[in-house]
Amino acid sequence: MNRLTNTDPALRPWWHPVAAEGDVPDGAPLGVTLLGERWLLARLGNELTAMRDRCPHRLVPLSAGTVVGDELQCCYHGYRVGADGRVTAIPALPAGTPIPPKACVPTAHVQVRFGLVWLCLADDDSGPLGDLLDDAAYVDPAYDTFVAGPFTTRVGAGLLSDNFLDAAHFPFLHAATFGASDPGTPSLSVERRGWRLHVTDTQVVDGAHLDAAVTTRAHYEVAAPFSVLLRLDRPGGSDHIWSFVCPVDDDTSVWWMVHAYPLGGDPAKLAAARDLQTAVGREDLSILELMEDPSLPLDIRAEVHTKADLGCLEYRRMLAELVHPGVSAPGAVTDAPR
């Protein structure tokens, strides 16, 4: 069966979140894992750098080392590596001895958005594919921001993103948090634009920052492969919820839900909203983690679908094209209702 794994090579040229920016310390590297490979983040000078977590000398993890000035020093033999991945010093060599050209460490593209550090493992010739979602609401001072998670789980990144896009399970799985008043019968409008997917719906939602359940106009924007924005337009304002997933390895994902709500700076409302959204994440994982294989099928014939699944079906089509460029996955285009 054609399923998307967290280590599919087609995921390399895309942006993935790997850590909260605040978790990267000064004076020491932070080890992370992405697509089954060990990488590290380090603040070298005024630059946040990402490089392979492996010294070219004896292949030990560089994340066990320290930051010395603007360079990273391996704790094993003292090799020093600059922000560009080139070894700058080998203590065992006599003074004046050239450093071998092979003494370098692969680096990754890196940027910070939504308070998260993002890596792309594309080589320099091809560069990253696609852009991150717009963070205008996140950086707008009129909004209060908070994070639910991160949740570490065995559920695949594709399935977590698909679940976030699924609007039919609210009154069942989320009856205790926000979805009890929603009818669970989404009427979806779906549009695909390149590697972006736009889905609109009408939803009835409740929340810790609301006086009662309210009808909202829901706008989803999906950026390949695993980023989703849900904007809920309601009387009195708009709430923004982003779902971001790191495909750590084939057994692990890390999931963040980043929020921007107009709460007027009220700390009690902020704490209550964070607690509720954390409970929402746990509700989702309570069922997804029970699945025999919690990865996303790209062959839509593996499941039963209705019109309520149109957004999820188009998401599968998009990922099938990402994994198999120019080749339609079985059932991915012709067999699905639109």
pLDDT tens digits, 276-314 = 999 999 999 999 999 999 999 999 888 999 999 999 999
pLDDT score at 329: 44
- Taking only the tens place, the pLDDT of each residue in 154-188 is 999 999 999 999 999 999 999 999 999 999 999 99
- Res. 330: pLDDT tops 80: no
Residue 324 neighbours by CB under 8 Å, 6+ apart? none
Percent of the chain predicted with pLDDT > 70 = 96
Question: What is the per-residue pLDDT for 220?
Answer: 98
Q: What pLDDT does 126 receive?
A: 78
Maximum pairwise Cα distance, the chain: 75
Q: Is the pLDDT of residue 74 over 50?
A: yes
Residue type, position 21, single letter: E
pLDDT level of residue 328 (50, 70, 90 thresholds): low
244 and 34 in contact (C-beta within 8 Å)?
no
Q: Across residues 95-104, what is the average pLDDT?
A: 94
Residue 337 pLDDT exceeds 60 = no
Q: How far is CA 98 from CA 55, 87, 89, in A?
A: 18, 11, 10
Across the chain, mean pLDDT equals 94
pLDDT at residue 327 greater than cutoff 80: no
Q: Is the pLDDT score of 333 beyond 90? A: no
Q: What's the pLDDT score for residue 300? A: 87
Instruction: Flag whether pLDDT at 248 surpasses 70.
Output: yes
- Residue 338 clears pLDDT 70, i.e. is over it: no
| pLDDT of the residue at 123 | 83
Closest C-alpha to 118, from 26, 222, 256: 256
> Of the given ranges (29-43, 123-137, 224-238, 275-289), which has the lowest mean pLDDT?
123-137
E-strand ranges in the chain read 3-4, 16-20, 30-34, 37-44, 47-52, 66-68, 71-73, 80-81, 87-89, 109-113, 116-120, 144-153, 189-193, 196-205, 214-223, 227-234, 237-249, 252-261, 296-297
Q: Which residues contact 144 (CB under 8 A, 6 or more apart)?
A: 260, 261, 262, 263, 264, 265, 266, 269, 270
Mean pLDDT along residues 88-97: 94
Q: Is the pLDDT of residue 1 over 80?
A: no
- List the domains of the chain with CATH numbers: 3-120 (2.102.10.10), 136-323 (3.90.380.10)
